[in-house]
Amino acid sequence: MMMALHECGHMLHGWLSGARGIEVHLPPLGFSRTDFSTNPHPLFVVWGGPFWGCLLPLALLGGVFVLARRYAYLAMWFAGFCLIANGAYLLGGVFLDGGADDAGVILQHGGTSWQLLAFSIPAVAAGLYLWNGLGPHFGLGNAQGKVDRKAAFGTAIALLIVVCTEILIGKG
């Protein structure tokens, strides 16, 4: 789901900037990617992935917090994961030869390492902040292995739906 939201960001920015020929690859195992046959604004489009890949899970967290506060910890975990994954993904591009990944595209089209750092460090820090203290909800610490069965079952069903959807519509 994290990769699907990230790719939605690329697609949204592609659509807004006039990119054409959008093809999204969402393999259940492996890395997702979005390709365009024509992309007039690659820097704008590439930033859409990590930007919306972080913002959409935070919006989901806000919605769950308002509508189903009891399960907000699940959305906090997911939002934290998305922030850490997107931040670390771009952070890796600062220290590793990015090539065709998003950080590499940002650097190839005029972005700088300090911009990657300015996005990545706060994203990772915010993700870790969201994760702080969630352990007991997942059966750790004082919870002594006890978890909410409805939450566990619902999470398993959501995972199954995401994987089946990726198998049906994702391109390998």
Kindly tell me if the per-residue pLDDT of 166 is higher than 80.
no
32-72 pLDDT, tens digit each = 899 999 999 999 999 999 999 999 999 999 999 999 999 99
Average pLDDT over residues 16-28: 90
Please give the pLDDT value at position 100.
61
Instruction: Look at the chain and report how many structural domains it folds into.
Output: 1
Please give the pLDDT value at position 171.
59
Q: Helix, strand or coil for residue 35?
A: strand
CA 123 to chain CA centroid, nearest Å? 11
Q: How far apart are CA 44 and CA 74, in angstroms?
A: 31
Q: In DSSP terms, which residues pair with 20 in a beta bridge?
A: 38
What is the enclosing helix (H) or strand (E) of 158?
Answer: helix 149-169
Kindly tell me if the per-residue pLDDT of 94 is higher than 90.
no
Q: Given pLDDT bands bounded at 50, 70 and 90, which one contains residue 137?
A: confident
DSSP per residue, 76-128: HHHHHHHHHHHHHHHHHHHHS--TTSHHHHHHHTT--HHHHHHHHHHHHHHHH
Kindly tell me if the per-residue pLDDT of 161 is higher than 90.
no
Average pLDDT over residues 17-30: 88
Kindly tell me if the per-residue pLDDT of 96 is higher than 90.
no
Please give the pLDDT value at position 25.
86
Model-wide pTM > 0.85 = yes
Q: How far apart are CA 46 and CA 52, in angstroms?
A: 11
Q: Write down the mean pLDDT value for the chain.
A: 90
Expressed as residue numbers, the domain containing 22 is 2-169
Average pLDDT over residues 91-120: 88
From residue 136, alpha-carbon distances to 71, 124, 132, 143, 145 in Å are 13, 22, 11, 5, 8
